[in-house]
Amino acid sequence: MSDSNFSKLADLEFLPYLDSQGEVTHQFDQKVGVYAIFDQQQVLQYVGLSRDISLSLRQHLVRQPEGCYWLKVAVSDRPNRTLLETIRAAWIEENGTTPIGNGVDEALWNQPIDAKAKMTPEEQTAYAATDEMGQIKLLKQVARRVEAEVFAALQARGVTTAIRFDPKLKEEGLLNLK
């Protein structure tokens, strides 16, 4: 892929997000490039760039499982951030509208899952009424509950890829892949 010779998004073939065994494709392990994620109806949801496309795909899957059904990928043999950003911008422009994951829902696609935002009113009350150690314990409980919800959503999708969240971040109420 060179500065003047990169594929248009429309020219790339759709690839399934999951293989027949329910695994996120491994063909992009430790590959650098630009990727586009599509929902079940092949509507563009997000365009990203990564130094390890497969890891990024797993992160997006746990954060937005219903938005991750199809992808298109351009791998770069000689990574150049400027070129990758140019391709990402061109794909978004080619789409005609900014995908939701690059716009209003960008944090939902790119940031760790914030379990604090999913606290029940009872959990919020308990959190406000306790000391720092109690808050850490409560955040871990909430993170585990949200983690179970994520695993249930992934199981419903037929995902078999092993998923492990960083245990240290759970103390902060955050879920991010380890």
Q: Is the pLDDT of residue 136 over 60?
A: yes
pLDDT of residue 5: 59
In 3D space, the residue among 23, 26, 12, 1 whose CA is nearest the CA of residue 78 turns out to be: 1
The model carries a pTM of 0.90
Q: Could you tell me the two tokens for 164?
A: 């492990």
Rounded Cα distance, 16 and 61, in Å: 13
The proportion of the chain whose per-residue pLDDT surpasses 90, expressed as a percent, equals 92
Beta pairing partners, 23: none
Rounded Cα distance, 102 and 92, in Å: 9
Q: Which domains does the chain have, with CATH numbers?
A: 9-110 (3.40.1440.10), 113-175 (no CATH)
Q: Is the pLDDT of residue 122 over 70?
A: yes
Q: Is the pLDDT of residue 4 over 90?
A: no
- Asked if residue 17 lies in contact with residue 61, where contact means CB atoms within 8 angstroms, the answer is yes
